[in-house]
Amino acid sequence: MRGPHNIWRLVRTGATLERTGAMPVVLEAFSAPPSVRLAARILGWPFKWLGYKGDPNQPPATRALTALGPAYIKFGQVLSTRPDVVGDELAAQLRVLQDKLPPFPRAQARDMIERELEIELDTVFSHFSEPVAAASIAQVHRATLRESGKDVAVKVLRPRIERDFRKDVDAFYLAARCVDLLAPGARRLKPMDVIEHFDGVVRGELDLRMESSAAAEFKANTESDDGFRVPSVEWFASSRRVMTLGWAEGIPANDIAAIEAAGHDRHALGERVLQLFLKHALRDGFFHADMHQGNLKIAANGDIIALDFGIMGRLDEYTRRVYAEILFGFIRKDYRRVAEVHFEAGYVPPDRDVDEFARALRSVGEPIFGMDASRISMGRLLSYLFEVTERFGMETRTELILLQRTMVVVEGVSRSLNPQINIWEVARPIVEDYIRDNIGPKALLRDLTRTAIVLSRFGPKLPAMAEAALIAQSVPAKDPVPSRWPWVLGGMGAGAVLMALGVLLAETL
């Protein structure tokens, strides 16, 4: 679908931004360079009359994105979590996009559920409500299972959402190419990579089977976490376009007045939100990557209930260790160690100077640690850190960008509950526990044990590998050998088997 017809979609986008008054707001929020501002005016102002009118009662940016369609709305949701990028004012305007959009009719939802599940809706649910929440991709209904009487939340994709989303994202790709051409200085932001990542994330959200799977995995990981709950998946009533979870009764995390009226300890809740996120990221390597207030509820007993598992982050074990060491180094103000970790992980090219890099890291950490508790920000630290590492040649790593974005969101939730929270003091015990358990003698012993277990699996293959070594040694091959094992064994002499095991280990881990 990518092609010249997308130029018309960009023109319509610019025209809508102009007509709704959102153009100057968006350009200012992104500190757009003159060339981009000029191109935006050319695309927007002469064709202003072609733009969608939108709802005049909404703020300009929200009005424009809502009128433009689902992919624009989703993009706005992502931006609403980044006040550090778009500013507090625009982020606040976009926050309404999280779960307060116009719903589609209940009858359409019923028809889609019956088609997807191949059932009569009334045979499964004794009650099926009007929409209780509506977002860019799906809406939620409250229902009661006929057999058990259990209250559930039924999430249903919007009609034709896949087709509408595809058309919008195709225009995004063209816009990213235009930014590449018109604003060379913005290429470091890798606009094409950003759109590709956004495209992949939302494609995942358009298959609710994947979200159901993520919810089930997240629940299994966090079952023993005190003060935290994840609703159970009702698999028999879930499919690609329908997901059914246990109903979560509680106060929305953004309703501070109701939380106080219910007698909950806001300070403790703010600390728990942050610690839970770090625990999930470091301990499990699988974290909720969209933890804004709209996706969190406070239960009557004070438990934090997580919702909406369409965007989840995953970190491999090595990345978790690197991330923990970086955070721990900053907590201790050991900038030399933080620099060494970056070099050891290969994040910074080895031809750069480690002492110079450590000096640059000090320029990141010291100003932040000089702030009062209410202004200390781990998200801001990671943002500055990426700026410095970019100057030293570090390539963009998507998993770390997602982690940093989520950290900013979680900090925002924590500070809304506890404005005086000291992020570093709250994070310290979680990071220290992880360091103690995963870096040091205890972790080394565990890693060696796991290595021995992996090597033992290849025991039956050793005779064949030794025989292959002898053959390769006595009959040199004229052509390149497809398998690496005969070459490795044949060229190592008496240490062939041990070296082969080492290569096997490298391949396996």
Neighbouring-strand partners of residue 143:
128, 152
| Nearest in space to 406 (alpha carbons), one of 270, 318, 314 | 314
Cα–Cα distance measured from residue 80 to residue 60, given in angstroms and rounded to the nearest whole number: 14
Q: Smallest Cα–Cα separation from 155: which of 245, 66, 74, 253?
A: 245
Query: How far, rounded to the nearest angstrom, does the alpha carbon of residue 143 sit from its chain's CA centroid?
Result: 29
Residue with tokens 């970056």: 342
Pairing state between β 151-157 and 242-246:
antiparallel
Token look-up 């509820």 returns: 297
**Structure tokens of 387?**
């700026």
What's the CA gap between 406 and 402, in Å, rounded? 6
**Closest by CA position to 323, among listed 400, 425, 428:** 400
**Structure-token pair, residue 169:** 């994202």
- 290 classed as catalytic: yes
CA 85 to chain centre: 16
Per-residue DSSP letter, 100: B
CA atoms of 63 and 51, how far apart (whole Å): 12
Greatest CA separation for the chain = 84
End-to-end CA distance of the chain: 40
Catalytic residue among 111, 290, 308, 479: 290
Site of tokens 């040199």:
476
Give the residue among 329, 400, 393 at the shortest CA–CA distance from 356.
Answer: 393
Crossing angle of the two packed helices 496-508 and 441-456, in degrees rounded to 10: 110
Which of 363, 338, 324 lies closest to 443, judged by CA? 324
CA 222 to chain centre: 18
The backbone torsions φ and ψ at residue 365, rounded to the nearest 5 degrees and listed phi first, read -75, -45
CB atoms within 10 A of CB 122: 12
**Nearest partner of 380 among 398, 404, 361, 358, judged by Cα:** 404
Q: Which residues carry out catalysis?
A: 290
